[in-house]
Amino acid sequence: MSTDFRKSTVYQIYPKSFCDTNNDGLGDLRGVIEKLDYIKELGVDYIWLTPFFVSPQNDNGYDVEDYYNIDPRYGTMADVEELIAEGKKRGIGLMFDMVFNHVSTRHEWFRKAMDGDPYYKDFFFFRKGKGKDVPPTNWESKFGGNAWEYVEKFDEYYLHLFDVTQADLNWDNENVRKEIQKIVRFWMDKGVRGFRFDVVNLISKAAFEDDETGDGRKYYTDGPNIHKYLKELHDMTFGTDAEILTVGEMSSTSIENCYQYAGADTGELSMVFSFHHLKVDFMGNEKWVLVPADFGKLKKIIFEWQTKMAEHNAWNAVFWCNHDQPRVVSRFGDEGKYWKESAKMLATIIHCLRGTPYVYQGEEIGMTNTDFTEISRFKDVESLNHYQILQDKGLSASDALRIVQVHSRDNGRTPMQWNDSAYAGFTSADSEEPWIGVNSNYTKINAASQLEDPDSIFHYYQKLIALRKEVDVIAFGDIEPLAESHPSVFAYRRTYEGHELIVAANFYGRECCWKDAPDMSGFEKLTGNYHEETAPKNGEWTLKPYEAQVWYK
């Protein structure tokens, strides 16, 4: 295990969809233990587990009812302790997903608030409406509808930026912050080596006023006390152990704030997730539309974050996929003729960037979006809400379904495809059906077949992960964008202490020519997704469909 997070790679597991060992159709913690050798073979240093705490599962565990206990459908505390210990034996640290912007309305704190206990009411945002049936503000929940829920008993509303069963916590209350610090220390004492903090830049609310756009984001994103609260959390918990890895999920953040969130000397977090590069197939901020991905914008955003974070000695998490995103090979690659080439090309771009790469379960074998043709097969609360909202706006049911098929979070949540047996080996053939349908392409796309194939996507990811540990320029180097205006080429140069790396990738399924390619004399090819050598000749580089190459000097 690399204790320097710049040389590390993190593997994200969505336990519900990873491996089911008790045949109830839900993945579990024993399934993660069972697959540790597979994860070790990939070569990663940390496993990030999405929440498995006690929860009513209205938002797949991101609605936490009890931070100290394990939801029985996932296993027991003994399973967690065994997982931490077995991971440690293999040099893999466990990173837990902490949801501290909100709690489930079934959490003890909220139940006591609803009983009228003033101490616990101040753990949340209860506010009077502006009039009869008029909420305190016009803010919109991220899952659709107003962000305030009326409580008749108090003649007040409580704030929920997400689902109505996810009540926002009041971080301005010092007692809330102390409870959160206690939770983090509890898991550190259990041997947890990292924390991912869910939508953590929303914890400081600026004011409760109407927003002319209606979404309210400017009043709760990167709020006035956010850096103070993160520094305090750092100083009181994980900052006492220099080897603990932390990453903040930053919703609609600004790069200027991220210089502080993830600065080497700012005393907040190790690194940040930002999502601007994954909105290039949105219309503005609107996700629920169908528009082609804007490649020029994608390059501009990635390079801006790469170069500016470097200038401010701050660190990025770099990624394409997670449990909230569609599968990248379906999104920016090719599920068909160039499936393998495009999956490897997309991996090359991310893994040679400045930042810590994150691999989402199934990404390393090129898993694709769902093949669901009926809305009844989707489970995600956000997708189902927007399926209805789109129709309320006048779209036909079929058009609304097509948008959901492309953008639904369920695209990343279908069961991990382990082999070509029933249910893709996620669960046994005689078990209950999985909680969500298996993609029918599991007979072709599965881990077992790729482990046997030296040219597989899995083995390509394995090589990229190893290169980060072996080649210092990948882990520590500066970055210089190349081919910025080229309509097809994604390219950049990394430099560190006299070492140089050049990455060139064709983002599309047609051959292209890069005419002002750099001088490659003295370089050797480290890896690529085609076997033939096609280095530049006379300053021109011809790249095959979805070709990617990495050269080193």
Q: What residues act catalytically?
A: 198, 249
The whole-angstrom distance between residue 354's C-alpha and the CA centroid of its chain comes to: 17
Place of tokens 């293999």: 90
- CA-based nearest residue to 281, from 335, 326, 322: 326
Q: Which amino acid is at 320?
A: W
CA-derived radius of gyration, the chain: 23
d(CA 307, CA 265): 18
- What distance, in Å, lies between the first and last C-alpha atoms of the chain? 27
**Contacts for 34 with CB less than 8 Å, ≥ 6 apart:** 19, 21
Q: In 3-state terms, what secondary structure has residue 513?
A: strand
d(CA 26, CA 24): 6
Please, are residues 73 and 26 in contact by the beta-carbon 8 Å criterion? yes
d(CA 46, CA 133): 48
**Contacts for 474 with CB less than 8 Å, ≥ 6 apart:** 351, 352, 467, 468, 494, 501
Question: Which residues, listed in sequence order, are joined to residue 104 by a DSSP beta bridge?
Answer: 166
Q: In 3-state terms, what secondary structure has residue 145?
A: coil
Q: Helices 457-470 and 339-351 sit at what angle, rounded to 10 degrees?
A: 20
CA distances, 147 to each of 56, 157, 164, 193 (Å): 20, 9, 8, 34
